[in-house]
């Protein structure tokens, strides 16, 4: 005679992991709930038993209702001969999509993952819960754990979006400044070269020094622009990484993903570092002009003054 645990397993639908309702039996002998489990499975291009993976032809009518009913199993359930499952296991919603039915599977039992142990940080099937996770463990529905992870990432995604907009504006301003400084630097060098032809060796030396100063100012400006471009690329990579984690969680919440302890807190720290870097760049003001320039009058007066002094 079978044990009560054995009877419980018989009366448990392997798709929704709940007590079977209107059991329909396949040719292989396995039974499943008519709704929503069997009807959802029939929407797939090929139809096979979720337990033994054997493929079967659909009823001529194409309706799940026309699979034979397992009256023996239905009688056991209706008469209360099957004991209830442990109370500490959260119920699984009947509202399961086709994608959910064919989602992550337990590597140990090859069953669909339905729960998550907060104590062990593992995704579980019903068999895992019964065999190795007792009532002292914190067990929640797999979908709830998935949503919790997505919710934790949402504030980071929103902050990344805000920082991206700020950095975009800063990058545009930097590019405009870059063009202005290059034009100014070229004009200054042109003026210096033209002046050099008008004076003797003293002016030539002064000309060289002024060119060096212009180049230094130009390099400093281009360096700042490069820093902003690097921060833009860094933020873009970080944004893609966070979005990838979120999409991964939505698609397949696996045991390996869940074992990355501290991944959310690490993303928060990275996000804060980028935010502080952007603030620092925003607080830096580009000088409106190169500090030593009022060349149109001041430079020429200086050169003429030196010439008169040396004569």
Helix-helix angle 142-196:263-283, to 10 degrees: 30
Return d(Cα 167, Cα 220) in angstroms, integer: 20
Per-residue pLDDT at 32 exceeds 50 = yes
What's the order of all strands across the beta sheet hosting 139-141?
122-124, 115-117, 139-141
6 pLDDT tier (thresholds 50, 70, 90): very low
Q: What is the pLDDT of residues 99-150, one digit of tens each?
A: 444 456 777 777 888 888 888 878 888 878 777 766 778 888 888 887 887 7
Domain-wise residue ranges, the chain: 1-86, 145-310
Mean pLDDT, residues 15-25 = 82
Per-residue three-class SS string for 250-290:
HHCCCHHHHCCCCHHHHHHHHHHHHHHHHHHHHHCCCCCCC
User: In this structure, what are the phi and psi dihedrals at residue 205, rounded to the nearest 5 degrees?
Assistant: -65, -45
- Bridging pattern class, strands 139-141 and 122-124: unpaired
By C-alpha distance, which of 281, 182, 185, 184 is closest to 230?
281
Mean pLDDT, residues 252-277 = 63
Strand partners, 139: 117
Return d(Cα 290, Cα 51) in angstroms, integer: 76
CATH among 3.40.250.10, 3.40.1280.10, 3.20.20.70, 3.30.40.10 for 1-86: 3.30.40.10
264 pLDDT tier (thresholds 50, 70, 90): low
Q: Give the H/E segment covering residue 246.
A: helix 201-251
Q: What is the pLDDT of residues 196-248, one digit of tens each?
A: 777 667 766 776 777 777 788 778 777 877 877 787 777 777 777 777 766 66
pLDDT at residue number 307 = 54
Q: What is the pLDDT of residues 61-82, one digit of tens each?
A: 777 777 777 666 665 565 544 4
94 pLDDT tier (thresholds 50, 70, 90): very low
Return d(Cα 88, Cα 212) in angstroms, integer: 77
């Amino acid at each position: 005679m079978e044990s009560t645990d054995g009877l419980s397993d018989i009366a448990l639908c392997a798709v929704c992991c709940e007590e079977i309702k209107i059991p329909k039996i396949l040719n292989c002998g396995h039974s499943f709930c008519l709704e929503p489990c069997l009807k959802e499975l029939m929407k797939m291009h090929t139809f096979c038993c979720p337990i033994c993976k054997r493929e079967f032809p659909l009823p001529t009518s194409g309706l799940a209702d026309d699979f034979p009913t397992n009256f023996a199993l239905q009688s056991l359930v209706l008469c209360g001969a099957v004991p209830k499952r442990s109370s500490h296991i959260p119920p699984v919603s009947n509202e399961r999509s086709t994608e959910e039915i064919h989602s992550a599977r337990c590597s140990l039992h090859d069953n669909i993952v339905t729960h998550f142990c907060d104590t062990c940080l593992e995704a579980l099937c019903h068999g895992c819960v019964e065999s190795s996770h007792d009532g002292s463990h914190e067990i929640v529905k797999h979908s709830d754990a998935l949503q919790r992870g997505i919710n934790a990432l949402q504030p980071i995604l929103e902050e990344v979006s805000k920082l991206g907009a700020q950095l975009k504006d800063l990058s545009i301003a930097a590019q405009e400044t870059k063009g202005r400084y290059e034009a100014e630097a070229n004009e200054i060098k042109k003026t210096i070269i033209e002046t050099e032809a008008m004076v003797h060796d003293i002016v030539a030396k002064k000309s060289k020094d002024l060119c060096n100063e212009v180049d230094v100012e130009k390099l400093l400006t281009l360096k700042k622009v490069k820093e902003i471009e690097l921060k833009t690329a860094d933020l873009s990579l970080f944004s893609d990484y966070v979005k990838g984690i979120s999409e991964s969680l939505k698609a397949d919440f696996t045991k390996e993903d869940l074992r990355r302890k501290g991944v959310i807190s690490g993303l928060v720290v990275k996000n804060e570092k980028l935010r502080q870097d952007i603030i620092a760049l925003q607080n830096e003001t580009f000088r409106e002009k190169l500090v030593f320039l009022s060349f149109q009058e001041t430079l020429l007066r200086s050169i003429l003054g030196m010439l008169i002094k040396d004569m």
